Structure 1
Amino acid sequence: MTTYAIGDLQGCHAELVALLEAIDFNPAHDRLWLAGDLVNRGPGSLECLREVKALGAAACSVLGNHDLHLLAVARGGGKLKKNDTLLPILEAPDREALLDWLQALPLSVRHGDTLMTHAGLLPQWTLDQAEALGAEVNAALTGERAGAFLEQMYGNQPRRWRPELEGIERLRMITNALTRMRFIDAEGRLDFEAKEGLDSAPKGFAPWFQFARQDDPYLIFGHWAALQGRLPKAKVRAEALDTGCVWGGSLTALDLETGKRISVPSQQTREKS
């Protein structure tokens, strides 16, 4: 059995099919970890959801910020944005089944000291904390007040984690750290403005993976296409798997046993906006 971790699909279904062929994926004995953002911006978001859902126990995915945006639009009063490509999902006959499946996905997947989240891991959090905190958000998403959470999920406050946070502020901070984080400061305060390469870091901020940790986990994440899969000056063991397929880059799978990367080229021609 081989386990492969795959970066952000973002609706790139043709590339997913090509990548599964390239790695000779067999759902009877192989497994997939998907780093979230299954949907949006690419042309095949509906097909990506159907494909991954149909794999059943052979695939597990974490939620990314675009996946949460879809849920907020569908079930939390959110609004579609100009560049969204989510309408086919919202109009699909199997819409509710797909949304139910998506809404139940976790914010982290772990095996031993290997942890996958969409955006990364705050240096202040252990693996156990990350799992427990992500489970709080998952409980909110699958509970009776899920719609209320999705309505209040958006926002950039609070920017720094404190254990005493409660209610929606606590849930929003956890969600933002696990699905939106790029640059942080030494206290773990999040920046939400800079979204490009490392040279876009605000003063006093650096990529989260350039801060030392007390432990030594193996971290797998997507979300940050501008990194192009590279982690300069990293002080943690980590793998960046968003190689910008939706922006004309590639879709990448990582063999978790050997560390080998397999990529297929993007078939997208859209410009980043």
Structure 2
Amino acid sequence: MSRTRLLSDSSWSRLEPLMPTASAKGGRPFQDHRRVVEAIIWRFRTGSPWRDLPAEFGPWQTAWKRHRRYSGDGTWDKIHAELLSEADSVGKIDWSVSVDSTVNRAHQHSTNLTRDTGGPSNYRNLRREPADHGIGRSRGGLSSKLHQLVDGHGLPLVVLVGPGQAGDAPMFPVLMAHLHVARRGPGRPRSRPDRVRADKAYSSRAIRHHLRSRGIVAVIPEPADQRGHRSRRGSHGGRPVSYDVIDYRHRNVVERGFSDTKQWRGLATRYDKLALTYRGGAVLRAITLWLKQLGDTPRPSHAESA
């Protein structure tokens, strides 16, 4: 595969029909989709500045503007959702999901925007730039967090970006709220996994109640301090927390999934000023991982799925 061919022909044949045909209603049709998409992939894979894109990819401004547009108008999310729907229809999604986050250092080139731009920092609207741009300050310096909900194979189902110092548990309901995999045929989108595996950072009454109320098995250990508080309260502390210790061993798929995500250096270190475009790169990485998972699987028609 040449320097400018980062997607296989089979992957591109699956991706091409999902790309938008025009910039706006009545606008000029997009040109050179494959070259631009591979330019964006090259930039995130190498962590290079946009201006240093090789000439074979065409003007760097085109690649940047196209990625900014696709990140903001939901194009990457729609493609990701379509691939998830296809994967579910052929049984490629393992619905024993895991959740976690990874902290990525923010490069100095990504931190020179003022914190009074963008919208509210609630991270529920994936197409609105948060005021803090998803960058936080902690003991390790300025950083961002990638939060992911992955299937049993470690492939991303939901991708969010938040500041590096923020806790994991508050983002859990946001991740679950964005889990919707459309069915090929009749039926509502699937939003309820069979089980959720998570580490002790996600051990809280609110999360356990949320999962229990939806009939989802919680595979989450209880930290020692919570066990102590419950024990001191006696009968008012509630029943001891139980979980499948053997099944919990499979939680490391999310860690391995982050290793795959960070093969793209532009995600392992944040160079993007906007949380919107940084998350867009992470969603694009998820798209490439699902394309690899689908491989040469024949695409089922809607009639076959029904």
Where is the helix percentage greater, Structure 1 or Structure 2? Answer: 2
Whichever of the two has the greater Rg, that structure is: 2
